Structure 1
Amino acid sequence: MGRTLKSESPRRRRRQTNQGVLLSEQVIVEAALRVLQYHGAAGLTVRRLGVALGADPSALYRYFRGIEDVVLAITDELLRRVAEGWEPGGDWREAMRELGLRVHRVYVEHPQAGVLAASRVTGGPHEIQVIETVLGLLRNAGFPDREAVDVYHAFIDQMLGFAALDAAFEALPVEHRQRDDSKWRDTYAQLPADTHPNIAATSRLLDESMRRSGCEPALDLLLDGIAARLKTHVR
């Protein structure tokens, strides 16, 4: 369980370093996202963050206790971007579908950060907002509390799982992604029907499907299952 992030107080919002750089928690998080984009998780260090900010690395400790807290702040920042502009109405299914696709899109847009953040729990304000809103949708739809929690758990883990899977693929070097994609055509489409009848019969469809994320169809299958379960509670 991650520690609760400290929110910025007015005195911590922006502070000038000895090098004349104005720092804040948000400025540091944005720099950390850039470092992750170019250097990956292994490259996210206090020293490299200092270089990216044009500040002495020790200045970061005025805002975060270390890289672990920076990672939690990055996670909550991704969730801020997920929730930004999301205004769920009365239709629980439509709202959760939109949220799920937003999670996937934001994490894949920042693949290095998405892989790093998908398994983290921050206790931060935007994570809290997402959990509170989804549980409210499910409880208002008619789920008892225990089932609302179970459904939320299945929903968010599936979406973060797909987000991490697809973000990890996007984080691969281009030549590796191309080589993996080509396997569906160069290997699977060539398997003979006498030894692999099912793959041979569906190889064209397999090639088309496996080059795309399975996130959206899996989300619809999950929502179908949630809706079917809800019918047992709402008559």
Structure 2
Amino acid sequence: MTGRRRWSTEDILDAAAELLRTSDAESFSVRKLAAVLGTDSSSLYRHFRSKTELLRAVADRILLAAIDGYQPEGDWKQRIMTLALRMREAFGQHPQLAAVSGRYGSGGTGSRLMMEEALQALRTSGLPEAEIPARYHQLVVLVAALISSEAGVSALTPEEYEQGMELFRVSVLGADPERFPAVAHFARDIRPLGVDRRAAFEEILAAQLAHIEATICLS
């Protein structure tokens, strides 16, 4: 009789990432993953002690992919922008994992590599050493929020996205100018949430980096 296949840690993470493409972190379970692999949950718990630990490991692989091949170029602001855009692109391919990364954090190699490069970039900025951890935290919170927000839109089906666009057209472009005068006034210039998100991402992050730079110049 042929024995049941022994799955490696990498096989498990591959299968988990694929399962998360079609489900969110809330509905994901070790039991469902075991069923996909044709095994039982206990065999997976030999590799990961909990669902949270497994999700963290999957999210960390996305960070590893994001920093793979990265070479620091430009000034500190360009380095941080490049890191953030790499993260955005990587999680854009796995939108269901963006919330996982923001919620749990990974603490794995990918996370530490990202952290190391961001901190190294900030150390070249001219910030006082004592201010670097707080500025780093602000940037991480901002980037994680932007990526998670964008992932929510990316996870929509084409039908759901079009429904949202139609709702925007009705609620904004068709706003009653007497009840919503400001909305009616700016309606044709307001962009739907899902439009030009990369440009908005870069503009928001650039503004935060410029704010940090301004505090350096004043100190």
1:81 aligns with: 65
Cα deviations across residues 53-81 of structure 1 (Å, max 9, x unaligned)?
23343221221112121011012112112
Kindly state the Cα deviation for residue 210 of structure 1 after the two structures are TM-superposed.
5.8
Kindly state the Cα deviation for residue 111 of structure 1 after the two structures are TM-superposed.
1.4
2:165 aligns with: 181
2:4 aligns with: 19
Kindly state the Cα deviation for residue 90 of structure 1 after the two structures are TM-superposed.
4.6
2:119 aligns with: 135
Q: Which residue type is aligned with residue 79 of structure 1?
A: L
* Distance in 1 (alpha carbons) for counterparts of 2:75 and 2:179: 48
Q: Which runs of 4+ in 1 moved over 6 A?
A: none
TM-score (normalised: structure 1)? 0.82
What percentage of residue pairs aligned between the two structures are identical? 26
2:202 aligns with: 216
Superposed CA RMSD: 2.2
The alpha-carbon distance between structure 1 residues 218 and 159, as it changes in their structure 2 partners (threshold 3 A), is: same
1:71 aligns with: 55
Gaps of 5+ in 2: none
* Distance in 1 (alpha carbons) for counterparts of 2:29 and 2:154: 22
* Distance in 2 (alpha carbons) for counterparts of 1:177 and 1:163: 18
The alpha-carbon distance between structure 1 residues 137 and 207, as it changes in their structure 2 partners (threshold 3 A), is: closer
1:112 aligns with: 96
Kindly state the Cα deviation for residue 153 of structure 1 after the two structures are TM-superposed.
0.9
Residue 151 of structure 2 corresponds to residue 167 of structure 1: yes
Secondary structure of 2:132's counterpart equals: helix
Kindly state the Cα deviation for residue 141 of structure 1 after the two structures are TM-superposed.
1.9
Secondary structure of 2:48's counterpart equals: coil
* Distance in 1 (alpha carbons) for counterparts of 2:131 and 2:165: 39
- Picking from 44, 52, 56, the partner of 1:60 is 44
Kindly state the Cα deviation for residue 115 of structure 1 after the two structures are TM-superposed.
1.7
Secondary structure of 1:118's counterpart equals: helix
Does the aligned pair in 1 maintain the 2:63–2:87 contact within 8 Å?
Answer: yes
1:230 aligns with: 216
Gaps of 5+ in 1: 1-16
1:5 aligns with: none
TM-score (normalised: structure 2)? 0.87
Kindly state the Cα deviation for residue 200 of structure 1 after the two structures are TM-superposed.
2.3
Does the aligned pair in 1 maintain the 2:66–2:87 contact within 8 Å?
Answer: yes
Does the aligned pair in 2 maintain the 1:104–1:160 contact within 8 Å?
Answer: no
Give the total of aligned pairs. Answer: 216
Does the aligned pair in 2 maintain the 1:72–1:122 contact within 8 Å?
Answer: yes
* Distance in 2 (alpha carbons) for counterparts of 1:96 and 1:123: 19
